[in-house]
Amino acid sequence: MQLITLFKSHKLKFTFTLMLIMVEAFLTLLFPLFIGNAVDGALNGERAGSIDLGLLGLSALIVGVGRRVFDSRFYAKIFREKGPDILNRIEDKNPSMKTARLGMIKEFIEFMENHMPELINSSIGLIGVIVILAILNVGVFIACMIVTFMIIIIYLLTSAQTLKLNKSYNDEVEKQVEEIAKNNDSSLRSHLHNLTTWNIRLSDLEAMNFSFSWILLTGFLILSILLPLESGALQYGALFSLVMYAFQYIENVINLPLYYQNWLRLQEIGQRLEE
């Protein structure tokens, strides 16, 4: 079960939800700018910036809630349609494998419903923030590009290991019902030991990647405050907006690798579901 296959079979509904995601991402991208304008307006005794900020928040709420209501029903329908179809293709009728595969189908659908919108939102937000940083301060823009490149390298270097660990973990998951049915404590303990071992190794790899990335991003956040001060006087609202965009950049960058790890896991799951 691949994303492109699902998209072709539900083209109109996927297009609609993707449009809502992009609108929501665009509205989210505007918040730091509107907050900065509202702060400057409030300091000058004006309320127009605050009213604009309130309207932006209301628009984001309407689009966000509407998308979530639509998505919950849309992806529930996909799960009902695809679950029996994929399970019926398992020729040996192995209940352990079928139970595991049903869980994997659910995980696949949950990624599309909950994480794919966040992935698209973060990707659009990251591109938008980088463009805005380039306009606001060239030094901060160059720093964010260097940090982004270094984080991409960190995760690309560990991609093969992530896929290998996910394969081993999923192999063990497919034995679970069989192991439980044996009613053998020793065998079950061995299975649970293997399961947790692969999970711990995946977690350790993720923690290592996150640590290196966070060190780079902390350095970038400090630079985003110091570099604008060196370039000359700024209005408080403008500096506040710049720092908020730098922080928004960090939020987007730190989330994208997590979605990438999930995508690698789903790539392995997708290959199993196509068998």
For 68-78, what is each residue's pLDDT tens digit? 888 888 888 87
Q: What is the CATH number of the domain that holds 86?
A: 1.20.1560.10
Element (H, E) at 90: none
For the record, the structure tokens of 82 come out as 């695809």
Average pLDDT over residues 48-68: 88
Contact 137, 243 (CB under 8 A): no
Half-sphere exposure of 83 (CA within 13 A, CB side): 14
Q: Using alpha carbons, select from 76, 80, 64, 81 the residue that is nearest to residue 17.
A: 64
Q: In the chain, how many domains are there? A: 1
Assess whether pLDDT exceeds 60 at residue 2.
Answer: no
Report the share of the chain in percent with pLDDT over 90.
Answer: 4
Domain range for 154: 3-274
Give the best-scoring range by mean pLDDT among 49-63, 112-126, 129-143, 237-251: 49-63
Q: Find the helix packing angle between 138-157 and 116-136, rounded to 10°.
A: 150
Alpha helices in 137-158 (DSSP H): 138-157
Alpha carbons 138 and 106: distance in angstroms, whole number: 45
Contact present, 127 and 170 (Cβ < 8 Å) = no
Question: What average pLDDT does the segment 120-124 reach?
Answer: 79
How many Cα atoms within 13 Å fall on the side-chain side of residue 205? 22
Give the pair of three-digit tokens for residue 183: 């009613």
pLDDT of residue 38: 84
pLDDT at 71: 85
- Is this prediction's pTM over 0.85? no
Q: How far is residue 15's CA from residue 241's CA, in Å, rounded to a whole number?
A: 33
**Residue matched to tokens 């994303």:** 3
pLDDT interval class at 238 (50, 70, 90) = low
